[in-house]
Structure 1
Amino acid sequence: MNSIPLNKGLATRVNLRRRIVDITTVMCSFCDEYEKSVDHLFTACSVAIRVWAAVSAWCNIPPIFAFEFKDLLDIHNSLQMGKKAKKLILGLVIISCWCIWKCRNELVFKQSRRSLQDILAEIKSRGFGWVKNRSSCKNISWKERCKYPMYML
């Protein structure tokens, strides 16, 4: 079975144009300054940059800078942390990407723009559910998790 790399398979405007889908514009829905590719949407768009800055500050880790989408999926490997902490960071990166994509879809399909605080609140909420239900940390506190996501380590 052949797998399509995410940067080619995700239905961004650039990928839709490549597939000869008639679309009115290939510009990014958030910033309207650059063509919306996977790399732009998740790493270079002003919305994504602000999300990564907020996630970095919340996690108390060095700022997350990525040039390509694959860099985001490897960011946890560059951190000087234990295995559990790296797994938490990778999970938060994946959740953050999902929240950015969901926010983009709400803008495109519902003309609803969400604030950075709304996006970060959803990342925290989804991250809390993921950790509480998928790890040995069943007794984590929502209040403490919101202050610092890795307090239980």
Structure 2
Amino acid sequence: MADGGAGGGGGTLRDRLPSRWNLSRKGIDVASITCSVCDSGIETSFHSLWVCSFATSIWNKIFKWLDLNPPSISNMHGMFAWIDDLHMTSNKKAILEVICGAVLWSLWNFRNETLFGAAHPKRSIVIDMIMDCSFRWYSSRNKLPLISWNNWIQNPLVVFSL
């Protein structure tokens, strides 16, 4: 997934997402450059997708679900380098890439709903949305091996070690 993630991924890795910081740097008048989700940091792409307290809590839950230690990264390239360096099968890496892409997409979507939605999105359903979305993305992209929903919600990385 070297080019995957939120907004098609290329935008994430090349820092081209229309974060408040990026918009202000391009001379677009924004009311604030503060993160619209946590209200305690400059809204850069990396902040919104990794550093924001909400993003951090989501990633921690995802890594707990997958029984992995969170990586220490300084940019989104670091996330994909971490995946590349993991000692696991290509099938497991493909699952992890899809899940990371679903997390990035969900975090950016949550940010956009916070800014532009009619009602504030519910934080409590984001993990469920990530599990559902990543399962559907993986299942539609990879016909074999097939993973059941029950195995997916337990830990999709364990299926390949049985």
Q: TM-score category by the smaller chain?
A: 0.7 to 0.9
Shift of 1:5: 7.2
Query: Residue by residue, what CA displacement relative to the aligned partner does 1:43-84 show, whole Å, maximum 9, x if unpaired?
Result: 211011111111101111112433212212222123221111
Are 2:156 and 1:149 aligned?
A: yes
Change (3 A) 1:96 1:152: same
Give me the whole-angstrom Cα distance separating, in 2, the residues matched to 1:145 and 1:85.
12
Give the corresponding residue for 1:30: 37
Give me the whole-angstrom Cα distance separating, in 1, the residues matched to 2:11 and 2:141.
28
Give the corresponding residue for 1:70: 77
Gaps of 5+ in 1: none
Trace 1:1-12 onto structure 2 (pairs within 5 A).
6-12=13-19
- In the alignment, is the contact (CA less than 8 A) between 1:99 and 1:123 conserved in 2? yes
Q: What is the aligned residue count?
A: 150
Give me the whole-angstrom Cα distance separating, in 2, the residues matched to 1:56 and 1:42.
15
| Structure with more contact order per residue of length (Cα contacts < 8 Å, sep ≥ 6) | 2
CA RMSD of aligned residues (A): 1.9
Change (3 A) 1:105 1:135: same
- For residue 119 of structure 1, what is the amino acid of its counterpart? V
- In the alignment, is the contact (CA less than 8 A) between 2:12 and 2:45 conserved in 1? no
Are 2:21 and 1:14 aligned?
A: yes
Work out which of the residue numbers 105, 114, 118 in structure 1 matches 2:122. Answer: 114
Gaps of 5+ in 2: 1-9
Shift of 1:130: 1.4
Give me the whole-angstrom Cα distance separating, in 1, the residues matched to 2:120 and 2:129.
15
Give the corresponding residue for 2:51: 44
